[in-house]
Structure 1
Amino acid sequence: MTYIKTILTLIITLLLTTATTFGQESKPKPKTKILLIATIHFETPHLDKFELLTDDFLAPKRQKELEELTEILKRTNADKVMIERGYSEQKTNDSLYSAYTQNKYKIKVSEREQIAFRLAKKLNLKSVNCVDYYYKLKHDSLVYATAQQKNQMYLFEELGATANNLKQEIDKVVKEGSITDVLKYINKKELLQQNLSLYLKYLAKVGAGENYIGAVAVSDWYLRNLAIYANIVTQVNEKDKFVILLFGQGHIPILKHLLQNNDDFEIVELNSVLK
């Protein structure tokens, strides 16, 4: 009987310990809130086929708008600001940002500096995180050649027409509205979906059933964004309550999908901040 009682005591102790441990493990840890801001490029890098018209973002009117925008974003008390600049460029970026905070560097015409540096300084952050990784879209020529061979050039025509319409819409908002207006406009759900559809609705079809080169080209774009996502999540720690990510509009739909499916994060919609 003593042996049985001992065994029963051990079992009860184990069950109680397991229940306590399980209760502790199941307690949800706080999520990091992340605000994804799709942006236009203030400078013209000549990397995109369908580039927006640029404006003079150093003009007094635009500088005032940038001050107003960053004052609003400052209210988030963000712990980190992340930008579309190569992960390998972090040291150079740190040097530029440090010089800027000491009034020894005049920020360039780039949303990475005009918005992100300005905002980070107001938040008293020590650095601005670089999270980009550039994969060359090396299959472009093969996609075009396949489309010609398979009589699929109409896909490029439809893609071009859609992209041009999107570009003209945004150009109009840039011309007529403030920088805040532009950001609110291009971060609309339907605008983000339209951007992603250029890849999924048109490009992915090229070569389907044979070499799938269109799908391969789309996978190049996804691979770059997966690398960016990896850089984001490895630079966020448990102490970070709020993070702001500033990136070109084309990246945001994919990054948003990836972050939404990581239960360490809670997506903050831009329209809830820029009211």
Structure 2
Amino acid sequence: MKPEIMIVGTQHYHEIFSHSDPDEQFLDSVNILRDSLIKFQPTRICIEQEEKIQDVINDSFNRYNPVVFYKNEAYDLGFYTAKQLNLKSVIAMDWMEQGYGVNGMSGVYEWAQNNDVSFIELIEEIQSHHDKLSKLNDSYKITLELNKPESYKMDEVLYGQMMLLGDDWNISIPWLTWWYKRNMIMVNNITQNLNNNDQVIVIVGSGHVYILKQFLEASNKFDVMTFYDWVENNNMGGTLD
């Protein structure tokens, strides 16, 4: 028996509702998603917040009001589920420190615009995919789709191609090094002091699904699944045609 880890790749609610509020349809779908997470019966919930603010997260968790929609999936999904299952808190697993030479993806994108049309087309294809999903206005269905292999493998191809960009390795490798380090630290934080009977939910932006799944499976110490895998294996339905 191994610890079970379910990766739940989500939208970032603060981005999609930066200039608006969710309507009743979306909020109803959030409740359906919440019910699904509760059925998994997690003993640990990890959220995409920096580990260095765990004390702040603990305080926010204690003051959390389940009636409020915070436009933050860490709260709206993670806190809510943890409260319903009487967990003491959630685990802040993220790391965002940036060192010398890490300037985000802007330099990579600028270089590709002038030198690699196919890479720009891949970015646009992924963005179009996410825009199409957002129009569903259904958090449960969107989350299912984001956790399908055909969805998260698009991100794997993106970062795989990014390694090849540039007149020299300084174009893309510094940012990719930071990205891989960030996700390795997440994996370490997710798996600290797990028991064989633990069930873990990882709530994270969908761009992390492919790499967290890859890293967690590499050790062969955990039963790893995505939210989509779990729904399909438990005949819960709800996928799109």
TM, length-normalised to structure 1: 0.74
Cα separation, partners in 2 of 1:110 and 1:270, compared to 1, 3 Å: same
Residue 85 (structure 2) pairs with residue 87 (structure 1): no
Distance 1:128 1:141 in 2: 28
Q: Is the 8 A contact 1:73 1:273 kept in 2?
A: no
Coordinate RMSD, CA, aligned: 2.8
Alignment correspondent of 1:206: 166
| Partner in structure 1 of residue 234 of structure 2 | none
Larger radius of gyration: 1
Question: Post-superposition shift, 1:91?
Answer: 0.8
1:225 to 179, 183, 191: 183
**CA distance in structure 1 between the aligned counterparts of 2:70 and 2:17, rounded to whole angstroms:** 18
Q: Is the 8 A contact 1:82 1:129 kept in 2?
A: yes
Structure 1 letter corresponding to 2:98 = K
Alpha-carbon offset, residue 237 of structure 1: 2.0
Percent sequence identity over aligned pairs:
21
Cα pair 1:41 1:110 within 8 Å, conserved: yes
- Please tell me whether residue 192 in structure 1 is matched to residue 152 in structure 2: yes
**Could you state the TM-score of these two structures normalised by the residue count of structure 2?**
0.83
Identify if the C-alpha distance between structure 1 residues 185 and 54 changes in structure 2 by more than 3 Å, giving closer, same or farther: farther
CA deviation after TM superposition for structure 1 residue 104, in Å: 9.0
- Whether the 8 Å CA contact 1:38–1:252 is kept in 2: the answer is yes
Pair 122,56 (structure 1): closer, same or farther in 2 beyond 3 Å = farther
Q: CA deviation at 1:54?
A: 6.1
Matches within 5 A, 1:1-275: 30-44=1-15, 56=20, 58-100=22-64, 103=65, 106-136=68-98, 138-140=101-103, 144=107, 153-155=114-116, 157-208=117-168, 211=169, 213-234=171-192, 236-238=193-195, 240-274=197-231, 275=237
Q: Give the structure, 1 or 2, with the largest relative contact order (CA under 8 Å, sep 6 or more).
A: 2
CA shift in 2, pair 1:144/1:91, >3 Å: closer
How many angstroms does 1:108 deviate by? 1.6
Q: Report if aligned partners of 1:192, 1:249 keep a CA contact under 8 Å in 2.
A: yes
* 1:128 aligned partner, one-letter code: V
Q: Show the counterpart of 1:17.
A: none
Q: Which runs of 5+ in 1 are unaligned?
A: 1-29, 45-51
Q: Which runs of 5+ in 2 are unaligned?
A: 232-236
Asked if the contact 2:11–2:206 (Cα under 8 Å) also holds between the matched residues in 1, the reply is yes
On the 8 A contact 1:204/1:218 being kept in 2, the answer is: no
How far apart are residue 201 of structure 1 and its match? 1.0
